[in-house]
A and B are shown apart, each in its own frame.
Chain A
Amino acid sequence: MIGKNPFRSESHVTRSAAHLRLADASSDEPAADAGQLLVRVGRGDEQAFAAVYDLLGASVYGLARRVVRDPARAEEIAQEVFIQVWQSAARFDPARGSAKGWVMTLAHRRAVDAVRHDQAATNRENSYDWSNGPDYDEVEETVSMTLEHEQVRRCLEGLTELQREAVNLAYYNGHTYAEVAEVLDANPATIKTRIRDGLVRLRDCIGVPA
């Protein structure tokens, strides 16, 4: 990927603080779940918007940061995501999925679009060297010690190496499966299958209802 790896110098304290804040936000308003808040946001309720931000801001920013690496770019993406949440909240339908899922889907897509856009710009200037690729193993070493993260990490560790790398490269690094195939020197059809097997295994391990 382009640029430096900002995770290298990151402290665990920062991440723990993020989770403390999340916990605070949800305990302050036990009755207001993200879905109800989003419905209020759709009616122009700015306080509800602030509450949604307090609930999901760290998740959105953290994901953007993981995908695009650069803190300033991640902040920009998080800003765009929450503006989109504000603009489109009226379109959110609680019957169709969780509010968190909706927001995180928007966030991931935006982060991935940004990384591909930046990459395309870089590629126009000089041909891309895949060996400069993301050191995702290193990133994984510095992740926080929250319970939730531990579970996800444990489940990722339960995948085969190819499944894990394929899922990591696609989700956290914003590669298409075709690019993943190139990075891992594998057949694209194989990668599609590995991503699928990996994701299904993760789902069952994390305990998300199918």
Chain B
Amino acid sequence: MTTDLHSLLAPYVLDALEPAERAQFEAHLVQCPDCRSELGGLQATATRLGESQSQEPPAALRQRLLAAIGSIPQERPLVTSINQRRGLRQRLPQLVAAAALVLAAAGGGGYLVERDHAQDRERQLADITSVLGAADAATTAQDFPNGGTVRLVTSKKRDAAVVVAHSLPALDGGKVYQVWLIRSSKAESQGTFSRSGEMVMKDLSSADELAVTVEPSGGSDQPTTAPVLNVPV
């Protein structure tokens, strides 16, 4: 079995494994010092294969990225970065705080590749990233009367939005906030959260508005209370 798994090292380095095999191999990698000692040289070789294809990207990409990163939260932001990013913190404090937690929890690959079993989470992270990084990403914020904020980052280009709820008033009796997208007068649940949370919503162009209601523990199939928040999309 070990020999078998070891033979996956080279295909792994070239990203040529099926997801299940990749997960299996990564689990193996943790307990195989021989694999790890060989990994570096093979990865460096793959890097050279990649670099050899170097090609000038469109100039617009650089401009877009430099314009976007100011509003994109980082994992484990350090205290020393606050001064450099003061402008950002004034613009999007809650988004930064909430989304940084998501991103920290989700991880995102590493050189020795820490992709765990959180594939859904990773996909969600990718979706969040894609919306936050979209050239046309626009943010709107709604304050709750009793504290807390719901922010909506929308990208028409991606036809998607990210909702970030932060420190909403605590609910008693296990009640939750439930997010809905209203399409042709029908409410579609997007998920629930207790006080803070974030979720990605897709196919936004066919939706009319976003609503948040308070629902019993576990959420409801359809809204059972009047919305505490409506945002046209």
B72 touches A87 (CB 8 A): yes
Categorize the interface residue count of chain B: 35 or more
Question: Cβ of A101: which chain B residues have Cβ within 8 Å of it?
Answer: 43-44, 47, 111
A108 touches B46 (CB 8 A): yes
B109 touches A88 (CB 8 A): yes
What distance in Å separates the Cβ of A41 from its nearest Cβ neighbour in chain B?
8
How many residue pairs at the A-B interface have CB separations less than 8 Å? 242
Cβ < 8 Å to B, chain A residues 132-190: 143-144, 146, 148-149, 152-153, 167, 170-172, 174-178, 180, 189
Alpha-carbon distance between A120 and B195 when the two chains are bound, in angstroms = 38
B51 touches A78 (CB 8 A): no
Q: Which residue of B lies closest to A16 (CB)?
A: B56
Cβ < 8 Å to A, chain B residues 43-57: 43-57
The yes or no answer to A1 lying at the interface (CB within 8 A) is no
B69 touches A106 (CB 8 A): no
Categorize the interface residue count of chain A: 35 or more
A195 touches B54 (CB 8 A): no
Q: Which residue of A lies closest to B100 (CB)?
A: A87
The yes or no answer to B23 lying at the interface (CB within 8 A) is no
Alpha-carbon distance between A146 and B132 when the two chains are bound, in angstroms = 36
What distance in Å separates the Cβ of B212 from its nearest Cβ neighbour in chain A?
27
B10 touches A196 (CB 8 A): yes
A21 touches B56 (CB 8 A): yes
The yes or no answer to A97 lying at the interface (CB within 8 A) is yes
Write 21 A-B pairs (CB below 8 A) sorted by A numbering: A53-B66, A61-B57, A62-B50, A79-B65, A83-B132, A88-B110, A90-B74, A90-B78, A91-B110, A92-B111, A96-B112, A102-B110, A104-B50, A143-B52, A149-B53, A170-B14, A176-B17, A192-B7, A195-B14, A203-B41, A203-B44
Binding site for A on B (CB under 8 A): 7-11, 13-18, 38, 40-58, 61-62, 64-66, 68-70, 72-78, 80-81, 84-85, 103, 107-113, 126, 129-130, 132-133
